[in-house]
Amino acid sequence: MKKRFLRDLEVSSIGFGCMGFSHGYGSGPDRNESIKLIRQAYDLGCTFFDTAEVYGHGSNEELVGESLKPIRNNVKLATKFTIQKDSAVTSKESTLQQIRTHVEASLKRLGTDYIDLYYQHRVNKDIPVEEVAFSMGELIKEGKIRAWGQSQSTEEEIRRAHAVTPLTAIQSEYSIMERMFEKDVIPACEELGIGFVPFSPLASGFLSGKIEEDTKYEGDDVRRVITRFDRDNIVANQPLLDLIKRFAESKGATLAQISLAWMLHKKDFIVPIPGSRKLERIQENLGAADVELTEDEFNQIEKELENVQIFGNRTDEDIAKLKDMND
């Protein structure tokens, strides 16, 4: 597996998003099978694993921690904390106190004494990002975390936080279907030397080309509320899949691999974290690191994408509503 850098943090060029084992995509494999799959991802060359305290109400961190325990020093482990809007944070000191509570709980669940990359999981607009950045700097000094990042933040929030304690990575939704962060956030990351970590790089599986029009999603499956999975939008977005399929066939690759290869070609500081719960899909996703687009192929994809309209999207608000329904 090729390597990349998120600022000073060396990781595999494709990481592994572990959320789906506990949260967000309906029922998954049992615990033993999940542990086996995470370790198989490592055997295939993945050294960058992502989780969060909210996934499965902490159970995902416990699962990832147990899975990676035998190889902890060989991997980079990322997790996230959330400061809710109604939290009693009124000062820089109380911000640090609350974040320290979160990190200590995550360290315990993960079974480790440090976190390689610690994200603020969505930016709480009621707390100045400078206070969060200060707190992260303190945790770095204490050795509890090695680096920090933000999720779904704006260019302004990135610049303000980075000026206090340099950011290592921004994790936000990004795929060939969702490119809003190309306008300002990704250029800002390039300017400031910050890595960019796309979640849902395969648009929650849509870009696999395996989504059926009549597929039903149940429980906490986020695809229940992501409008690109509406029947009409699945049909309307077929031209995008047709475009990707042509390039996949010419490269002897899959649609998912071309979607990831496109992203890897775009910038060398982009490290996607696709998730899967089947070994063949994990092999496929990680295998995208070996699919290299030529400059001409990449430019042709970009040119053709200009004429492709995308129907449907996902919003944090919709996902939050689904979470409330399932809690």
Position 37 pLDDT exceeds 50: yes
Q: What values do phi and psi take at 145, rounded to 5?
A: -130, 155
Both ends of the chain: CA-CA distance in Å? 38
- Residue 314 domain flag: no
| Domain of residue 53, residue span | 3-206+266-291
- CATH number, domain with residue 78: 3.20.20.100
Average per-residue pLDDT for the chain: 92
How far apart CA 18 and CA 48 sit, in angstroms, is 10
**pLDDT for res 31:** 95
Position 27 pLDDT exceeds 90: no
Q: Are strands 195-199 and 48-50 parallel, antiparallel or unpaired?
A: unpaired
- Residue 63 domain flag: yes
pLDDT tens readout for residues 177-234 = 999 999 999 999 999 999 999 999 999 999 999 888 888 887 778 888 888 888 899 9
118 is catalytic: no
Position 159 pLDDT exceeds 50: yes
How far apart CA 35 and CA 40 sit, in angstroms, is 9
Kindly indicate the confidence band of residue 327, based on its pLDDT and cuts at 50, 70 and 90: very low
- Residue 89 domain flag: yes
> Rounded mean pLDDT of 302-323?
78
Position 87 pLDDT exceeds 70: no
How far apart CA 199 and CA 230 sit, in angstroms, is 21
Which of 25, 42, 55, 118 is catalytic? The answer is 55
- Residue 105 domain flag: yes
Counted domains in the chain: 1
**pLDDT for res 323:** 53
Share of the chain above pLDDT 90, in %: 80
pLDDT tens readout for residues 254-271 = 999 999 999 999 999 999
Position 92 pLDDT exceeds 60: yes
- Residue 120 domain flag: yes
- Residue 10 domain flag: yes
Kindly indicate the confidence band of residue 325, based on its pLDDT and cuts at 50, 70 and 90: very low
Position 90 pLDDT exceeds 90: no
- Residue 70 domain flag: yes
- Residue 226 domain flag: no
pLDDT tens readout for residues 75-86 = 999 999 998 766
Please give the residue that has the higher pLDDT: either 130 or 327: 130
